[in-house]
Amino acid sequence: MGASSQKRALTLMNGGFVAHKRKDMYRLSRGVVVLELLETDSVIDFVEKFDFQGIEPFTVVLLDWAEKPKLLQLVWDERELHLESLPLEPHIWSSSPLYTSEMHAKRKEWFEIFKTKNKLPRASELWKFHHEAGKGDKEIGLQIDRGVVRTKSITQLVLAPQVVESIYHDLESGETQANILMV
């Protein structure tokens, strides 16, 4: 996750639309894409010119509010980049390498129920959803624990007109930290 003075915030998730077979080496880290997207003057120009070949599949969800707010989803599937403009409304994503299509559907169902009860959810309600949805289901809940693979933290970005606040909850220590990322 990150935010920049370009009035842009984004998050990166491993994998594209479906789970992929991981290669031993890649030409470039997906994190480089995050840094470039946060700093570029134009997201559209960047995605049209950047060479994504040799990068492991990923999904980026990006909110750009420099002019008219827009929500974008970028999915690199190792063959092509898929860029989609999404409505400015609550959405849910799950990392494709970690969940089957049935698991994705169950998580989406939980979120649809949440949205029915919270038409315009506040940051505190979304925070609670991320802490409680699927509670006790260690396979597909929003806090998984499959032994080797488990949720270690929850991070939320809260956007206000002049400030982006990052709230980080370390699930192992129980500590929560809030920081201003930009003014």
Domain-embedded: residue 134: no
Give domain status of residue 178, yes or no.
no
Distance CA 120, CA 174 (A): 28
Whole-angstrom Cα distance, residue 109 to residue 31? 30
In a domain, 62, yes or no: yes
Q: Is 119 within a domain?
A: no
In a domain, 129, yes or no: no
pLDDT of residue 183: 53
The one-character DSSP state at 99 is -
CB 106 within 8 A of CB 142: no
| Domain assignment present for 139 | no
Percent with pLDDT over 90 in the chain: 93
Mean pLDDT across the chain: 95
Residue numbers of the domain that contains 81: 1-97
**Total count of domains within the chain:** 1
pLDDT band at residue 32, thresholds of 50, 70 and 90? very high
Q: Does some domain include residue 85?
A: yes
Answer yes or no: is 144 within a domain: no
